[in-house]
Structure 1
Amino acid sequence: MRKYYLDVANMSMNKHGEELCGDNVEIANTEDGIIVVMSDGLGSGVKANILGTLTSKIAVTMLKEGATIDETIDTIINTLPECQVRKLAYSTFTIVKIKNSGEVYMVEYDNPPVFLFRNNRSCDIKKNRRIVNGKVIFESRFYMNESDALVIISDGVVHAGVGGLLNLGWEWPHINRYLTNVLHKEVIAQNICRQLLEVCKDLYDNKPGDDTTVVTIKIRKEQNISLFTGPPKNKDDDDILINLVKNATGKKIVCGGTTANIISNALHTPIEIDLKHYTSEVPPMGFMKGIDLVTEGILTLNKVKELLKNYLNSIKKNAIPCAINGSDGASRITNMLINEGTSIDIYIGQAVNPAHQNPSFPDEFNLKIKIVKDIARLLTALGKKVNVNYL
């Protein structure tokens, strides 16, 4: 059975004036897939955050350990503290267990209905209504195929614009229509979340009246990217580099003039320099037949590191990451790594450039190696599969 890459992203906005979000998302890897839980605590602020966090952490932990949904719901109900004002221990939730094969088991409790898109068109989900410990839940079992997407929302999305731009808020059918248009343009889960949350932010006039969360699960085929930078430590190993470039699958990026020249000479393929797309921080790019992108080395990679770090920091702060729209080499590399690659193979030659490094220093002090390690760490934090290989 074919295995897919499960592209998962989530983004939230806090209710205006609140430091903590009452929605909480937990994602756990399993042997054959992932478990995603999105919970919405009653009210907002600290109490809602506690309710939502407890719910999602209990659910993801128990389900990962093999508990049934009935056992999980019982534990949640018996664990949540009771609100002294409303006399309720309450948190809504949506649970998705999805395997790498595309097999899905989903449970919904009091959250807005989940969106399912196939071939960029909205699909109905067949649901089974069931009562567990006095709570009405809806269970679904289905398969997702390549390019299918699930979008989970909290009620802050549906309420966007209430009493302002939209009298009744952004109703489910209208959100569905908007997402249909987004999915025609966006491929990765993070961008789908960003697009939807940006509209919510506008409808709330930058003052969200409720905690607002979007979770997207996109089924994608594996897309490998190979990044080559730096010549091998030993000149005799240049042939190893050439063979790796020839046999690499997916897209290929070469960073560094010396590395590019070694490959160009071996493949008898000239490099054409692009003098249009560069900045004061990022040198010009080049083009070579058989290679998707050729750039300068250490300055470009350092800028890639900076762009990745800013992108990841935005996500960690529950801010909406800005799209990376630059046309320079660093922006193009970053876009490829974030928006296209699911697995990244980095090949770094350990030859020391005296202009960047004292040749007498140990390898661990090599500036380029340090930058590449940082890039690998950032990509891993973004959910990419990263392998770093030394030549």
Structure 2
Amino acid sequence: MRKYYLDITNLSMNKYGEELCGDNVEIVKLSDGMLVVMSDGLGSGVKANILGTLTSKIAITMLKEGATIDETIDTIINTLPECQVRKLAYSTFTIVKIKNDGEVYMVEYDNPPVFLFRSNRSSHIEKVKRIVNDKVIYESRFYMCEDDTLVVISDGVVHAGVGGLLNLGWELPHIDRYLTNLVQKEKTARGICSQLISTCKDLYDSKPGDDTTAVVIRLHREKNISLFIGPPKKKLDDATLIALVQSVPGKKIVCGGTTSNIIAKGLKTTIEMDLTNFTADVPPCGYMNGVDLVTEGLLTLNKVKDMLTDYLNKTKTSSTIPNIRGNDGASKIVSTLINEGTTINFYVGEAINPAHEDTGYPQQFNLKMQIIKDIMKLLKELNKQVSVRYL
């Protein structure tokens, strides 16, 4: 059975005036998939944060260790108190256990319903109602397919705009239509999640009346992207470099003039430069048979690092997603890494660049290696699977 790459992102927005969020999300990797718990503590502020955090921590820990949902709910109920004034639940929660083959087991307790999108359309989830320790829960078992999207929300999303732009808040049918359009435009979980929370912020006029959280799970077929940066340390390893370019799956990007010349010679092809698409800080890129993109080295990689940092920071703060659809070499690399890659493989040559030997080579080399490490770290924060091999 096919295994998928699980693209998962969660973002939250605190109630206006509160330093802590009453919603809490816990995500843990399992041997065969992922376990996600989103809880919403009663009220807001410190008390809600404690209740929500304890609920999600108990649930994620017990379920990871193999406890049943009944045992988990029983433990939560007996550990956390109900509100004695309003007689309401201490914390609501949604649990999603998803395997690498797309099999999903989901439990919902008093949170807004979960949205499923398949082929860019809203899809119904069959649910079974059960009573566990006097609590009504809904269980679901289904399979997600390639490019399906699951969206879990707290009631802060539904309350967005209450008493302001929307008298009754953002009603579920309207959220469903919004998300249907959004999943057609944004292809990553982070892009969908960031846009959703940003829209909630706008509906609240930047003063959220409730803690607001979204968790987006999207399934992708594994897609490899390989970056070849710098020539090998030993000339004898040029053949290894060329063999790797010929054999690795997926898209291939070569960074650096010396590296691209070695590969072009080995593949018995030529490099065709694109002199129309470049910027003041990004040199022209090019193409060759057997490789998807050829770029300059240090300057382009530094710009890639800056663009990835900007993208990650802005999507974390629910700002407008930066435009990464430029035609220069750095923009093309960043767009490919974010929108097309699930597994990013770095092949880094450690040879001394002759051009730098008399112009502060160690500093140039160390700077390049640090930039590469920074890019790998950023990609890991974007939930990409990253590997590196030095040549």
Flag structure 2 segments of 5+ consecutive residues without an equivalent: none
CA contact (8 A) 2:194 2:318 kept: no
CA RMSD of aligned residues (A): 2.3
Q: Give the AA of the match of 1:372.
A: I
Q: Aligned-pair distance for 1:301?
A: 1.3
CA contact (8 A) 1:357 1:367 kept: no
C-alpha distance in 1 between matches for 2:168 and 2:331: 40
CA contact (8 A) 1:149 1:219 kept: yes
Q: Aligned-pair distance for 1:321?
A: 6.4
Aligned residues: 390
Instruction: Give the 5 Å matches for 1:349-368.
Output: 349-353=349-353, 366-368=366-368
Distance 1:110 1:230, change over 3 A: same
**1:151-207 CA distance string (max 9 Å, x none):** 111111111111111111111011111111112222211111122222212211122
2:19 match: secondary structure:
coil
Q: Aligned-pair distance for 1:273?
A: 2.5
Distance 1:225 1:321, change over 3 A: farther
Q: Which residue of 2 aligns with 1:131?
A: 131
Q: Aligned-pair distance for 1:144?
A: 1.0
**1:111-159 CA distance string (max 9 Å, x none):** 0000011111111111111111111100011111111111111111111
CA contact (8 A) 1:345 1:388 kept: yes
TM-score in terms of structure 2 length: 0.93
Q: Give the AA of the match of 1:350.
A: E
Q: Give the AA of the match of 1:268.
A: K
TM-score in terms of structure 1 length: 0.93
C-alpha distance in 2 between matches for 1:360 and 1:306: 23
C-alpha distance in 2 between matches for 1:97 and 1:108: 12
**1:12-65 CA distance string (max 9 Å, x none):** 111122222111111100010000111111111221111111111111111001
Instruction: Give the 5 Å matches for 1:1-391.
Output: 1-80=1-80, 83=83, 86=86, 90-314=90-314, 318-320=317-319, 322-325=321-324, 327=326, 328-353=328-353, 366-391=366-391
C-alpha distance in 2 between matches for 1:194 and 1:61: 27
Q: Give the AA of the match of 2:267.
A: L
CA contact (8 A) 2:112 2:154 kept: yes
1:366 match: secondary structure:
helix
Q: Give the AA of the match of 2:213.
A: T
CA contact (8 A) 2:310 2:322 kept: no
C-alpha distance in 1 between matches for 2:270 and 2:279: 24
Flag structure 1 segments of 5+ consecutive residues without an equivalent: none
CA contact (8 A) 1:26 1:38 kept: yes
Distance 1:352 1:165, change over 3 A: same
C-alpha distance in 1 between matches for 2:113 and 2:224: 34
C-alpha distance in 1 between matches for 2:307 and 2:85: 46
**1:193-247 CA distance string (max 9 Å, x none):** 1222222122111221111111111111000000000001111211111111111
1:345 match: secondary structure:
strand
